[in-house]
Chain A
Amino acid sequence: MDIVVCIKQVPEALSVGLDRDTGYVRRGEAKGVANLADRQALELALALKTAAGGKVIALSMGPTGADQALRQALAVGADEAYLVSDNALAGSDTAVTAQVLARAIERLPDIGLVFAGEASADGATGQLPPRLAEALSFPLVVGACSARLDGTQLEALRNGEWTRENVAVSCPAVVSVSLDAPKPRIPNAMGVMKAAKKPLIVWDLTQLNLSPEDVGQSGSCTRIVRAYKPEKRAKGEVLTGDAETLVQALLERLARKNLIEV
């Protein structure tokens, strides 16, 4: 069976600015990089490739030309890469994105596992993997730190609310991968040279049997009403002195704010 890894190209944190008027990230000028958690998802997938006995396929949705993250996936060992790209997709929310990716995954034969990072570094909603599982009707493991394949059963160590949990799930399944998973490998020179020759296939909406009304802002159920920078918090005050003075000073300040009665 093959493994799909969903990879989002996100703006590199250091190269990104916010538009003063809209509050949106100025994506045009930012350097595109692969979302770190997605790279970690790819790392887990590559480790399972032999056990799965198939291919590792990288999948992304984004504007034309935003394929650097997919090329990087090919360079570290993904066998194929698909970019779903269509002008109508601009403004799609996570629900639409999950539908589109699910359609793409359904077009690929013999998919046993779908990996994705737990959340993206830019939107950080963490909604995509659960929505994808729903759209595909696959079971879901959230926040996996490691994974092992035993036949068609996947065993994963995942971050629970307060504990680490060992869980097992039958394939096909969706697995979201935590930032606590092993660090991703860096593509080596051989991989980069090979990646330029590997197939990177671009699909548009017609190939996925979707119409422009289903996607983009028109298909989305959420609207961003306003984006703004978080307000700056007041500067903290550093108290100095011995323990007794410090405790006294702290109590006074808490009392002044009516948080305690002295």
Chain B
Amino acid sequence: MSLEFKSPYIREEHVMFRQAAKEFVDAEIRPRAMAHNRDAKIERVLLDKMAEMGFMGMAIPEEYGGAGADPITFAILGEEIARACASTAVVMGAHGGIGTYGLVMDGSEAIKQKYLPKLATAESVGCFCLTEPQAGSDAANIKTRAVRDGDDWILNGEKIWITNGDIADVMTVFAVTDPALGARGGVTAFVVERGPGVISGPKEHKMGLAGSGTTTVTFENVRVPNENVLGTVGLGFLTAMKILDKGRLFLGAAALGMAKEAYDMALNHSVQRQQFGKPIAEFQAVQFYLAEMATRIYAMEQMVYHAAWLMEQGESVTMEGSMIKLFCTEHASWVINHALQIHGGMGYSAELPIERMFRDARIFEIFEGTNEIQKVVIARELLKDKKKELARV
């Protein structure tokens, strides 16, 4: 029996979807996870199979060929895939989450019709290009430049740490269109197709997430038609923040899935592994670890599905999204670390997936806004209302 707490936000179709996702993951992803890590790549055929299941177009409305899934369903998928293979979850999230949200939320009808159906079938792969060498946590400091040239824009600049940078062909790219205004009215979001001048660097050698390709993407005099502007010229930074608000929920869900998997493994191991003539689950030290793991997972799960429900109601989840990213990613690492401890030497062996999960989980505390930046966002939201209140006095 696996750890799943009842939640008022989970409906009948969600239960069925989780079951279906589990079946698919067991048949297609779990058996490949070791190879993804070893070969540092994900087989293309897996992305096609995931697309057949609707997993590559979860956030894309039905009329554009997507699943039109609600945020709760998407979170369930993030959980179930990350249980077996965090690399696959991250490739899917960069494609169907942050690589797609911009087009769905701010794309013109022409952009939606042109790109969304191909993203839904994974004929095109998406990615999100914001980070630059000098613009990590300081995302407003991007230097990639887009200059108007007749009906087009000419893009120049370098993006780094781009998930799917190796395979993506439809990129959500942020560039400065008015340096005087900067992030406050001078950044624009573009849909950029892979083509002349779009150059991906070699895959980074990372501590974890070996299966997911992370590269630089350089734009050298890339010509982008004006109709590929996402939303309004100058308001791209807002688009970026809206996308990241949503993306954080998916990351939290993925972290939750990894924590649950690690807990399940630790629990199974602790009742089977005998030391001093009895299963180690009989020792209070191990029991306390299990109790604390389960408690943290309970908290994570309630947070994730509450915020997913808020998102479904159309509410802003800026603060909740950051809280989820902060809390779930830190506690996932804690849970996995202690699952490794319960496994003893075997936990450190590459024969079991725990050491991989331990490495994979670490980046969740860093990417898509470091956890320190999440605290900045949370504090800003907390103080915003107080400041307004004081201003009125």
B13 in contact with A189 (CB, 8 Å) = no
* A212 close to B (CB within 8 Å): no
A195 in contact with B16 (CB, 8 Å) = yes
Chain B residue numbers with a CB within 8 Å of A187 are 16-17, 20
* A75 close to B (CB within 8 Å): yes
Interface residues on A, range: 10 to 19
State which of B23, B27, B73 has its C-beta within 8 Å of the C-beta of A192: B73
Bound complex: CA A189 to CA B59 (Å): 11
* B180 close to A (CB within 8 Å): no
Bound complex: CA A31 to CA B328 (Å): 28
Chain A residue numbers with a CB within 8 Å of B68 are 190, 193
Known contacts A189-B67, A192-B20, A193-B62: A68-B12 contact under CB 8 Å: yes
What 1/0 flags go to A204-233 for Cβ under 8 Å of B? 000000000000000000000000000000
* Stretch from B50-58, B211-219, B299-307, B314-322 forming part of the interface with A: B50-58
Chain A residue numbers with a CB within 8 Å of B52 are 188
* A247 close to B (CB within 8 Å): no
A75 in contact with B20 (CB, 8 Å) = yes
Bound complex: CA A192 to CA B1 (Å): 24
State which of B12, B23, B77 has its C-beta within 8 Å of the C-beta of A186: B23
Q: Give the shortest distance, in Å, between B232 (CB) and chain A (any CB).
A: 31
Chain B residue numbers with a CB within 8 Å of A192 are 13, 16-17, 20, 73
Bound complex: CA A67 to CA B77 (Å): 22
Q: Give the shortest distance, in Å, between B9 (CB) and chain A (any CB).
A: 15
* A262 close to B (CB within 8 Å): no
Q: Give the shortest distance, in Å, between B328 (CB) and chain A (any CB).
A: 23
* B19 close to A (CB within 8 Å): yes
Task: Among A186, A191, A196, find the residue whose CB has the most chain B CB atoms closer than 10 A.
Answer: A186
Bound complex: CA A186 to CA B17 (Å): 10
Bound complex: CA A193 to CA B66 (Å): 11
What 1/0 flags go to A173-201 for Cβ under 8 Å of B? 00000000000001111111101100000
Q: Give the shortest distance, in Å, between B369 (CB) and chain A (any CB).
A: 27
A190 in contact with B55 (CB, 8 Å) = no
Chain B residue numbers with a CB within 8 Å of A68 are 12, 15-16
What is the total of A-B residue contacts with beta carbons within 8 Å? Answer: 57
Known contacts A15-B1, A71-B12, A71-B13: A193-B20 contact under CB 8 Å: no
Q: Give the shortest distance, in Å, between B235 (CB) and chain A (any CB).
A: 31
Known contacts A14-B1, A15-B1, A193-B68: A188-B16 contact under CB 8 Å: no
* B24 close to A (CB within 8 Å): yes
Chain A residue numbers with a CB within 8 Å of B363 are none
* A33 close to B (CB within 8 Å): yes
Q: Give the shortest distance, in Å, between A193 (CB) and chain B (any CB).
A: 6
Chain A residues 48 to 79 lying within 8 A of chain B, measured CB to CB, are: 68, 71-72, 75
A189 in contact with B12 (CB, 8 Å) = no
What 1/0 flags go to B1-34 for Cβ under 8 Å of A? 1000000000111011101100110010000000
State which of B16, B53, B69 has its C-beta within 8 Å of the C-beta of A71: B16
From A33, which residue of chain B is reached at the shortest CB distance? B19
From B26, which residue of chain A is reached at the shortest CB distance? A186
Question: Interface of chain B, helix or strand or loop or mixed?
Answer: helix
Q: Give the shortest distance, in Å, between A72 (CB) and chain B (any CB).
A: 6
B13 in contact with A188 (CB, 8 Å) = no
Q: Give the shortest distance, in Å, between B222 (CB) and chain A (any CB).
A: 34
Q: Give the shortest distance, in Å, between A164 (CB) and chain B (any CB).
A: 27
Q: Give the shortest distance, in Å, between A140 (CB) and chain B (any CB).
A: 31
State which of B12, B27, B67 has its C-beta within 8 Å of the C-beta of A193: B67
Q: Give the shortest distance, in Å, between A209 (CB) and chain B (any CB).
A: 30
State which of B12, B23, B54 has its C-beta within 8 Å of the C-beta of A190: B54
Bound complex: CA A196 to CA B73 (Å): 13
Chain B residue numbers with a CB within 8 Å of A191 are 54
Q: Give the shortest distance, in Å, between A38 (CB) and chain B (any CB).
A: 15
Bound complex: CA A190 to CA B12 (Å): 15
A189 in contact with B17 (CB, 8 Å) = yes
Task: Among A33, A71, A189, A196, find the residue whose CB has the most chain B CB atoms closer than 10 A.
Answer: A189
Chain B residue numbers with a CB within 8 Å of A15 are 1
Chain A residue numbers with a CB within 8 Å of B27 are 186
B20 in contact with A186 (CB, 8 Å) = yes
Bound complex: CA A52 to CA B62 (Å): 28
B12 in contact with A188 (CB, 8 Å) = no
Chain A residue numbers with a CB within 8 Å of B73 are 189, 192-193
Bound complex: CA A262 to CA B54 (Å): 68
Q: Give the shortest distance, in Å, between A176 (CB) and chain B (any CB).
A: 24
Known contacts A192-B20, A193-B68: A186-B13 contact under CB 8 Å: no
Q: Give the shortest distance, in Å, between A14 (CB) and chain B (any CB).
A: 7
Bound complex: CA A187 to CA B69 (Å): 14
Q: Give the shortest distance, in Å, between B67 (CB) and chain A (any CB).
A: 4
B16 in contact with A186 (CB, 8 Å) = no
Q: Give the shortest distance, in Å, between A50 (CB) and chain B (any CB).
A: 19
Known contacts A68-B12, A196-B13: A189-B77 contact under CB 8 Å: yes
Q: Give the shortest distance, in Å, between B338 (CB) and chain A (any CB).
A: 25
What 1/0 flags go to B368-387 for Cβ under 8 Å of A? 00000000000000000000
Would you list the 5 A-B pairs with minimal beta carbon distance, nearest first? A189-B54, A189-B67, A188-B53, A196-B13, A188-B54
A residues at B contact (CB < 8 Å): 14-15, 33, 68, 71-72, 75, 186-193, 195-196
**16 other A-B residue contacts (CB within 8 Å) besides A186-B20, A193-B69:** A68-B16, A75-B20, A186-B24, A186-B53, A188-B20, A188-B52, A188-B54, A188-B67, A189-B17, A189-B58, A189-B69, A189-B73, A192-B73, A193-B67, A193-B73, A196-B11
Cβ contacts A to B, 22 pairs, < 8 Å? A14-B1, A33-B19, A68-B16, A71-B12, A72-B19, A186-B20, A187-B17, A188-B20, A188-B52, A189-B53, A189-B54, A189-B55, A189-B69, A189-B73, A190-B68, A191-B54, A192-B17, A193-B13, A193-B62, A193-B68, A193-B73, A195-B13
